[in-house]
């Protein structure tokens, strides 16, 4: 049986806005196994973004536990969380989030700098990753010199820089045309099948979710339905 990589156990996230308490997550439980491809779906306000923050160790719960490789990370400090994020989780965002003043290869090297990887190793790894996403001829281009699809592929390469166990893709095709978006999805599927990466993808599009092995539907901060293909 495959081991759990990330497990959310009865997770609540309550935001205080003046005297009002907003329950973004209400007892969310989710178990993501090694090598799974899981899609999270739900309407706006369903808690998807907050769930992503929990899965990606970007935030800690108000109540409940988050287990990463069976270790409870719910009470860790921000600096401890940052170290875990850098090693274990690769992020792909809808907005690409590339540094505009850096070239493609410099953007891909960035996460490795924070993990103390020596420069020769960083350069070699970043070159390999940009070749992997078919951007070997665009390494010295800045984001403004790349198309949306090329920027997203740089972001995918960057997400793999520290060889993470989990790739977390938040609406990864949201800013792309349908053809380019399909190429990005193909690449995520390839990462899952050939590199055996665990992938968690957040989407509002039922057609995109079809490539996942399992889809979890969120509403009002909790899972209301789960389907498998």
pLDDT at residue number 146: 95
In tens, the pLDDT along 92-110 reads 888 888 999 999 999 999 9
CB-CB neighbours of 137 under 10 Å: 9
pLDDT at residue number 93: 85
Q: Which residues of the chain have pLDDT under 70?
A: none
| Residue ranges in 2-132 assigned as alpha helix (H) | 48-55, 78-88, 104-114, 119-132
pLDDT at residue number 218: 94
CA distance 169 to 167: 6
pLDDT at residue number 14: 94
**Domains, the chain, with CATH or none:** 35-57+77-228 (3.40.50.300)
Contact 151, 145 (CB under 8 A): no
- Candidates 78, 92, 93; CA nearest to 167 is 92
Q: Report DSSP state, residue 72.
A: E
pLDDT at residue number 13: 94
Q: What is the pTM of this model?
A: 0.88
């Amino acid at each position: 049986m495959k081991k759990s990589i990330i497990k959310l156990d009865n997770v609540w996230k309550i935001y205080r806005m003046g005297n009002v308490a907003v329950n973004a997550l209400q007892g969310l439980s989710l178990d993501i196994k090694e090598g799974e491809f899981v899609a999270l779906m739900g309407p706006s306000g369903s808690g998807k973004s907050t769930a992503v923050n929990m899965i990606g160790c970007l935030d800690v719960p108000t109540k409940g536990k988050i287990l990463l490789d069976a270790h409870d990370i719910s009470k860790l400090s921000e600096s401890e969380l940052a170290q875990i994020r850098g090693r274990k989780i690769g992020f792909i965002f809808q907005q690409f989030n590339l540094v505009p003043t850096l070239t493609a290869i410099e953007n891909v090297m960035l996460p490795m700098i924070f993990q103390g990887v020596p420069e020769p190793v960083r350069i070699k790894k970043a070159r390999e990753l940009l070749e992997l996403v078919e951007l070997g001829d665009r390494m010295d281009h800045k984001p403004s010199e790349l198309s949306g699809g090329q920027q997203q592929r740089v972001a995918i390469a960057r997400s793999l820089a520290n060889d993470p166990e989990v790739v977390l893709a938040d609406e990864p095709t949201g800013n792309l045309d349908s053809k380019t978006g399909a190429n990005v999805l193909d690449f995520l599927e390839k990462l899952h099948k050939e590199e055996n990466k665990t992938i968690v993808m957040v989407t509002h599009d039922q057609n995109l979710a079809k490539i996942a092995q399992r889809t979890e539907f969120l509403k009002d901060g909790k899972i209301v339905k789960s389907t498998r293909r």
